[in-house]
Structure 1
């Protein structure tokens, strides 16, 4: 059956339902969002003389939920206007409308009787053959289909989204024994390709995969913490970025999610896992019970493991809960020798051996928690899944771990992990010992063809991870000798099929001289022996921009010749990419700011992850875009003149985008801001970006790509537009919206974008605009207030308004 999803019904508009609806709207699907009709009028409704059967009353709950979702920050929508794809209604009047939907998703309260009652009503209207799924985090999936028809059972399964659905990548697919295999295959594919999810096939066991292991890991940390006498701050320091987990670590995450949520899942697991060898870990300690009694549930009650209070002088400060006294105290600075030893180690996988070898309390903590985690996940196969890679996928995508449990075990060493477990009295599953005895020393390996493989327990051999053929993983290319050139900041890799890739690996992927050298080398090699170039990487962010520290150092020492040379080299590298004889494709994801945005502006095509945050943010540090960004925004605006749009309006919009340092909240919004243009692509699943960028480079090459010529006919507006901008900037200053230094920067930006002091509209060259841009950038580095702004960003990470 060739199944297409054009319209989805979401039943239940709470936090999860409304946001699932928004994410389907993000990808262009029409959504019918339904909820219950109110049983009572609000005073305001009574005052208006409304009745319960009034449409505004009947849809009050669903409309309020959707409005709250749209107003949320971060937004569940790629663009605010995408909400127009969502139509609201109520179960009384509109349940019949699911007959026109291809997929119905139930997201009501976590009670089996309510879900079953709703499904009984759904079956009256659902069109046979359409998908029907439940988003539940705990209720056994098979129990929901009791009393339903064969067609309903055949097309039913669990689809467990993680909150927030737009941002957390995990989607667990949980079939029942009666679910048709074609339905499971479709959902696995659709979740990956269209919803951008890491789709993981899970068994119908309590809490499925991610919550089962993730909540175990949290509760085990709590137990070890009590055993070693560690504080809340110490545990969060030990369980954060140093081991590849979120900065919010353990207890700050609990405060954000809500302690009640963790309690509910832990209690559910403690009650429903009679045969789990570690079920005692899910028993709540007394301090968590006491916190629940006190309603210290985290952010939703303004206090949990942490509390924000007003300190001396009215300044806010964060206090942490002392678990012994249950009193709050100022957060203490945490320092462990073991953590200090990992500071020089950039690569995450290389830290684990150092952490587990620590001689202090931190080392004790890691040995105990690693031992507990390794033993637990080994014993969950085949209970919750048959394949170990699914556990790693679920924890990375659902809990934001950079490395899953088995990947962490590999980093430490399988034999070392076994020794840790035994030393801590933990029992590892026999299959691990058998694997090692057979001479296999890792859970994963990369084949000679560059394909990542996992150890398959049933066949006792390594098998390719299904679906990986759709992704390009640069570490896999590296492992098979595909690096053609490298320096400290960049590498050039052979992606195959005549396409090269330039990868950054500087801090935050900042664009310094090493990265520029790598870009130029990539173009040079591609022009000589290949047919295309991709610029992309597997880091959390594409690039946070140019090396601001270097700019600050040169400016502080008044090394203006060096600065001028650096800016010129950056500009020349961008133009070299734009006017090479081979197609260059940018593959941004995450942050693509400043120089990272300018780089993509100069690519022949951009294939961006949906979660790409692009912006020319130099204004915030007292500068203007100096790597061709100002030139390119001026050029792109001039190209739109030919389409007949009002010229001054277009130029003003581009000027405002740059002068207010706007950053897109998604790749879709980057089109609205002019950073992406017609022909560029958006890929919902960030894991697919590099593969799609490679395909785009091949397409451009096979379409007969020819080297373009630099433009010499860019229409600029001259004094007429410049006067308009200067007047507008002055008015902003008089209204006290901007500072004197903002005026200076804005006037310089306007001068460039208008083409300088020209008496009338004139055609100029790209090089003319680049020279104006470089001159303005250089002059601003000599301003004390600009240096103060740069220093603030470098030292505090916060912009300074001066």
Structure 2
């Protein structure tokens, strides 16, 4: 293992990227200094302080918890350079000017500790050129470190060694980035724009070219180049607006200036329409207008021919839509190429030229196809990388079609496909991913950090051993790796919880108690669980089967209790949404392990109900058995607000603040390490002679006085128009359950009492027409109804 330990970090430059990188370091609990120029006036750190204050205004927020901003220490280059001596990692993130970066390096060099690593967060400047200003003693500790924006959410970080960077330095950084910051690391060669932006920006340039060639509308292009082809909703032109049209022009110019010999160089120029928008200060989202702009509630799009905006009316031709919905990539691409429709021709041309460019430059920019495909998937949000897409569509056939188009003068460049393209059947296979530079297939990294990823992000054709099945039915699967820990996964859509899952969980725990030391509830895909099966519940209600409905709720509660009182530790491994019943299941686990990007909430209010899978009971027990300053009502208040307002945490750390996760619960930053950590937690508890908690027999409750106090708050909210009459009804019933019902303050109750209250008020609400309207509306639209 590496001897490097990143105890403290510094970020140089408090611009948009620098401040957000500092924020994510702070999210991960890394003490961080944020530097910038000294400001005029008494507060020399005013520039940094303003940048830190602005973090809380950004959306999506870079802060996993608002209070994290307080952990960023402001600094300036005049007064605080001495503090750099304590930093193990220094990340420079100032503007993309080679001369400015070199001048800053010269300034900080005397203060860099002998073992510190210095990295530049550049999006495309030469790392070796930057190294020239550094003392030779620092060359082996210097590299490029390119975070993608926004750093908290984008999985990709490109790691770019300079000619003399030491291998242990790179291994240590890769480990830190992967496990501590939760990133996907791609090694890139020191070439202009590295991998992600080199390929991603070329893809945009090719779409720009073919948009004009086929006389397409920008809105139609975005309709075609978004989710229909496995790319984000922002597609192409909306992405340009979000990035900033001036930024796009700068990146295009960088490619033009630094890649004069590129066979596609003639296309590395900003289109006239784009330059006109820039000249008019219509730079995209940050100025309120760009290629698109919002007019009232409507979206308008630039019409180049008319020289003005028009209402956006994106249309995908039915015949092209039918092609794109084909799940077979081979027949899909064959149909795209054969179709005479301009939209199909446009898409084929865009794919063809992207494939051509990737193949031509693979050996120059990346160690293998793995790095190229991951860079685009993780950095641009595509479901499949370009070379994966090509291979899935029939490598040999696509290659032949590309060659035909090159010969016919249809491709953007006349450069021939590299010879290696014809020598292989695809770039990803059982031996790894193809390296054009080495003419062989390279396996995945041997860095020990990846042993923590039981199921890493798979490339095309990769299969990871699914484990040995211990039990499986239509709703759940229980499996193991022979390590004494069972893993339970749901098989329902969105991992919702219906009768089958409830029965399956109880069956799995029965088996796990006989066969395993511990059990982890983990889903192979997000979310952890979107909650109860609303469709099944609504059907029971509408058919008048109230007894069946009541029995289902009792079974839900029994399952939660079975999780809590299992004779082995049950650990919930949560990533993505854990809503309603999903939240209640993790609340009953012996411990929860959360991926940072976990969104937790008891949201039943949105469908006119209250939590009744034991969630309110569990809150009442937790507070009653450990009331703050002996005041049960005060302890219930934050829970009541979270449940009555259907609050959902913006991160796992915020879930702790909302009291929907325990302080003892664990948060991991890399979602691919979640299962590893959860199994380790289960094993550690088992090896500590785990026993389930004793059922509490005497829980003090807030009683009718607590209910009345909550109701006063609700009356004021209703009078102010903040909640409806039905919201008032639901919230009052939530307060009633949390406070233990119509009893004296301090009355001692048990869990069965609280569970009975949950069932009573849940069933009563479920029979109300307004609640059934809410459920139906949610099922139809996916959005809550306020009635």
Normalised by the length of structure 1, the TM-score is: 0.89
Deviates more, 1:292-301 or 1:187-196: 292-301
* Residue number in structure 2 paired with 1:354: 332
Task: Kindly indicate whether residue 429 of structure 2 is the aligned counterpart of residue 431 of structure 1.
Answer: no
Q: Which residue of 1 aligns with 2:455?
A: 473
Q: What does the per-residue CA deviation read over 1:145-200, in whole Å, with 9 as the maximum and x for residues that have no partner?
A: 22321122222111111111111121111111122222112111111111111111
When residues 776 and 281 of structure 1 are mapped into structure 2, their CA distance, relative to the original with a 3 A threshold, is: farther
Structure 2 partner of 1:677? 662
1:679-730 Cα distance to aligned partner (Å, 9 max, x none):
3210011121122122222223333334555444333232232232233323
Cα distance per residue 1:579-619 (max 9 Å; x no partner): 33332221111222222211211212111101111111111
User: Of 615, 618, 626, which residue of structure 2 is paired with 1:632?
Assistant: 618
- Paired with 1:535 and 1:352, the residues of 2 have a C-alpha distance of 37
Q: CA deviation at 1:744?
A: 0.7
CA shift digits 1:739-791 (9 cap, x unpaired)? 22121111111111111122342333323322221221221122232233334
- Is residue 2:364 matched to residue 1:383? yes
> Structure 1 326/495 Cα, relative in aligned 2: closer, same or farther at 3 Å?
farther
Offset at residue 369 of structure 1 (A): 2.8
Counterparts of 1:544 and 1:331 in 2: how far apart (Å)? 33
What residue number does 1:55 align with? 42
- Once the two structures are superposed, residues 200-243 of structure 1 have per-residue CA deviations (whole angstroms, 9 ceiling, x without a partner) of 11111000111111111222222233333332222222222233
Paired position in structure 1 for 2:216 = 230
Does 319-328 or 133-142 show the bigger shift? 319-328
RMSD: 2.7
Q: Deviations 1:251-285 (Å, cap 9, x if unpaired)?
A: 22221111222221122112222333333443333
1:764 aligns with 2:765: no
**Cα distance, 1:246 vs. partner?**
1.4
> Residue 579 of structure 1 contacts residue 708 of structure 1 at CA under 8 Å; is this kept in 2?
yes
**Aligned match of 1:126:** 112
Mapped to 2, the partners of 1:487 and 1:251 lie a distance apart of 46
1:133-148 aligned within 5 A: 133-148=119-134
The 3 A distance-change label for structure 1 pair 68 and 183 is same
Contact 1:634–1:654 under 8 Å retained in 2 = no
2:703 aligned partner: 718
* Secondary structure in structure 1 of the residue aligned to 2:238: helix
Residue aligning to 1:454: 433
Q: Are 2:690 and 1:705 aligned?
A: yes
1:373 maps to 2:364 = no
Residues 1:732 and 2:717 aligned together = yes
Deviations 1:5-58 (A, max 9, x none): 2222221111111111111111122222121134xxxxxxxxxxxxx4x432x3
Aligned to 2:149: 163
User: d(CA) in 1 for partners of 2:643 and 2:81?
Assistant: 47
Moved more, 184-193 or 370-379: 370-379
1:484: how far off? 5.5
Judge conservation of contact 2:330–2:394 (CA < 8 Å) in 1: no
Name whichever of 100-109 and 547-556 sits farther off.
Answer: 547-556
Q: Secondary structure at the match of 1:424?
A: helix
Aligned to 1:41: none
Assess if the C-alpha contact under 8 Å between 1:339 and 1:355 holds in 2.
Answer: no
Deviation at 1:486, TM superposition (A): 5.0
SS in 2 for 1:381: helix
Inter-partner Cα distance in structure 1 for 2:150 and 2:169:
25
Taking the aligned partners of 1:419 and 1:517, their CA distance within structure 2 comes to 53
Residue equivalent to 1:47: none
8 Å contact from structure 1 (residues 500, 526) kept in 2: yes
Offset, 1:435: 2.1
Task: Establish whether residue 318 from structure 1 lines up as the match of residue 299 from structure 2.
Answer: yes
Report the counterpart of residue 261 of structure 2 in structure 1: 275
| Equivalent residue runs for 1:71-82 within 5 Å | 71-82=57-68
| Deviation sequence 1:660-693 (CA, Å, 0-9, x none) | 2121111111112222214321001112112212
Once the two structures are overlaid, the 10-residue window that deviates more, 182-191 or 574-583, is 574-583
Q: Name the stretch that deviates more: 482-491 or 139-148.
A: 482-491
Shift of 1:550: 3.3
Structure 2 CA distance for aligned equivalents of residues 675 and 206 of structure 1: 46
Q: Which residue of 1 aligns with 2:198?
A: 212
Q: Counterpart of 1:335 in 2: which secondary structure? A: coil
Aligned-pair CA distance for 1:62: 1.8
How much has 1:60 moved relative to structure 2?
2.2
Q: 1:749 aligns with which of 731, 734, 745?
A: 734
8 Å contact from structure 1 (residues 338, 354) kept in 2? no
Q: Which moved more, 1:381-390 or 1:234-243?
A: 234-243
Question: Is the contact between residue 119 and residue 143 of structure 2 (CA under 8 Å) also seen in structure 1?
Answer: yes
Q: Point out where structure 1 has 5 or more consecutive residues left out of the alignment.
A: 39-51, 311-315, 448-452
| Cα deviations by residue, 1:404-444 (Å, 9 ceiling, x for unpaired) | 223323432333432443343364432232223xxxx5613
Equivalent residue, structure 2, for 1:48:
none
Report the CA distance shift for 1:232/1:773 in structure 2 as closer, same or farther (over 3 A).
same
Corresponding residue number in structure 1 for 2:31? 30
Query: In the aligned structure 1, how far is the partner of 2:621 from the partner of 2:396?
Result: 59
Cα gap change, 1:462/1:518 in structure 2, threshold over 3 Å: closer, same or farther? farther
Tell me how far 1:351 sits from its aligned partner. 5.7
Stretch of structure 1 that moved more, 231-240 or 553-562: 553-562
Deviations 1:427-462 (A, max 9, x none): 4432232223xxxx56134x8xxxxx4345536346
Query: Which ranges of structure 2 fall in alignment gaps of 5 or more residues?
Result: none
Structure 1 residue 363, shift from structure 2 partner = 3.8
Q: How many residues align?
A: 768
Q: Does 1:597 align with 2:583?
A: yes
Name the CA shift for 1:531/1:424 in 2 (closer, same or farther; >3 Å). farther
DSSP 3-state at the match of 2:675? helix
Report whether the alignment pairs 1:407 with 2:396: no
2:99 corresponds to 1:113: yes
CA contact (8 A) 1:485 1:493 kept: yes
What residue number does 1:46 align with? none
TM-aligned CA distance change 1:496 to 1:379, over 3 Å: farther
Asked if residue 175 in structure 1 is aligned to residue 161 in structure 2, the reply is yes
Instruction: Tell me if the contact between 2:223 and 2:314 (Cα under 8 Å) persists in the aligned partners.
Output: no
Conserved? CA contact 1:637–1:654, under 8 Å: no
Residues 423 and 488 (structure 1), Cα distance of their counterparts in 2 relative to 1, 3 Å cut? farther
- Structure 2 distance, partners of 1:543, 1:408, is 30
Matched with 1:588 is 574
Matches within 5 A, 1:281-360: 281-310=267-296, 316-337=297-318, 340-341=321-322, 353-354=331-332, 357-358=335-336, 359=339, 360=341
- Asked if structure 1 preserves the Cα contact closer than 8 Å seen for 2:8 and 2:86, the reply is yes
8 Å Cα contact 1:356-1:366 kept in structure 2: no
Preserved contact between residue 173 and residue 202 of structure 1 (Cα < 8 Å): yes
1:9 aligned partner: 10
SS of the residue corresponding to residue 88 of structure 1 reads: strand
515 and 394 in structure 1: CA distance in 2 versus 1, 3 angstrom threshold: farther
Q: Secondary structure at the match of 1:631?
A: helix
Partners of 1:225 and 1:508 in 2: how far apart? 37
Instruction: Name the CA distance, whole Å, in 1 between partners of 2:472 and 2:505.
Output: 11
Kindly provide the CA deviation profile for residues 632-654 of structure 1, in whole angstroms up to 9, marking residues without a partner as x.
Answer: 2222222323x754322102222
Return closer, same or farther for 1:151/1:577 CA change in 2, 3 Å cut-off: same
